[in-house]
Amino acid sequence: MKIIEDISEMQSLAGSARGAGTAITLVPTMGFLHAGHEELLRVARGKAGFLILSIFVNPAQFGPNEDYKTYPRDMDADIKVALSSGVDCVFAPRPEEMYPDGFQTYTQVERLSMGLCGEARPGHFKGVATVVLKLFNIVMPHVAVFGKKDYQQFVLIRRMVRDLNLDVEVVGVETVRESDGLAMSSRNSYLDADERKAAVCIPRALDEARSALSGEDAQAVIRMVKKNIENEPLAVIEYIKVCDKDTLQALDRIEAGAMLLLAVRIGKTRLIDNCLFTG
């Protein structure tokens, strides 16, 4: 397995693989890999001739008061996961090479960046779209794999690929959960023991929401989820919305393709999750 930091080295290795007709699959991550990432790598391995895992904590997607500096990092553990997942190449570029002095070109997916997480994290999705486009330009993957826990991110990247005619298949992978239902996230490591117990209010509320029937009033479902989460004193709701799964526009009623998306703070940790109504 190769470990590459230099952008030009990555470009030339990926260029040779592409030139030789090998299918390249990219799994972009910020590292601190967990079972959710392993699932992305498992799906990607099934598709790839050459599997590239990128590990880059992207400063451009963190706000000034967010956790860029403290975001968990463990390259040695990540390399072990990469080896056991059959990764061919880890690409871990240096921030100063990704964003050199004078950098000023950003990508913005306009409507899909607004609302939901975009409201509380202005500029976040501009940073995500920019780094993903840069990674696509460097690696030129045929396939790129993303988790659906970050659902707004997934839809937005899919839109960017269509809008900018990028020749990449975007694959979304279902959320992997802990045994009590909490969605896997690198940020779960911020939770102390009490907060970790409290966080289970999120998957429990989503489980109850899933039983909503087609035609039900979306606001009534939102009220039910809100009430369940508010029973947990450590939880502070940022948003709970029912939206169309493709446009992310708010819906009045539950219908096939409706999705409930939420962000909740448990102590200082911001957690997001979602569920799809099957109708």
Q: Which is nearer to ligand PAF, 82 or 222 (CB)?
A: 82
Is residue 152 within 8 A of residue 129, CB to CB? The reply is: no
**Shorter beta-carbon distance to ligand PAF: residue 54 or 228:** 54
Q: Which residues bind ligand PAF (CB under 6 A)?
A: 28-30, 58, 61, 128, 131-132, 150, 153
Question: Residue 57 CB, nearest distance to ligand PAF (Å)?
Answer: 8
Question: Considering Cα of 96, then 24, then 148, then 245, what sign does the dihedral take?
Answer: positive
Residue pair 77/214 in contact (Cβ under 8 Å)? The answer is no
Residue 222 C-beta: closest distance to ligand PAF, Å? 26
**Tokens 């990469």 identify what position?**
82
Please pick, among 34, 37, 124, 142, the residue that the annotation labels catalytic: 37
How far is residue 38's CA from residue 182's CA, in Å, rounded to a whole number? 16
Minimum distance from residue 154 beta carbon to ligand PAF (Å): 9
Give the start-end residues of each E strand in the chain. 2-4, 24-29, 50-55, 89-91, 143-147, 169-173, 235-244, 258-266, 269-276
- By beta-carbon proximity to ligand PAF, the closer residue of 25 and 61 is 61
CB of 30 to ligand PAF, least distance (A): 4
| 37 has catalytic annotation | yes
Would you call 273 helix, strand, or coil by DSSP?
strand
Q: Which is nearer to ligand PAF, 33 or 275 (by Cβ)? A: 33
Please give the Cα distance from 26 to 18 (Å, whole number).
13
Q: In the complex with ligand PAF, which residue's Cβ is closer, 78 or 216?
A: 78
The number of CA neighbours under 13 Å toward the Cβ of 133 is 21
Q: What is the CA radius of gyration of the chain?
A: 19
* Phi then psi dihedrals of residue 262, to 5 deg: -145, 155
d(CA 201, CA 267): 13
Q: Whose Cβ is closer to ligand PAF: residue 128's or residue 218's? A: 128
Q: Which residues are 28's β-sheet partners?
A: 54
- Distance of closest approach, residue 26 Cβ to ligand PAF, in angstroms: 10
Under 8 Å between Cβ of 152 and 120: no
Whole-angstrom distance, CA of residue 158 vs CA of residue 15: 23
| Contact indicator for 103, 67 with CB cutoff of 8 Å | no
For the annotated catalytic residues, the residue numbers are 37
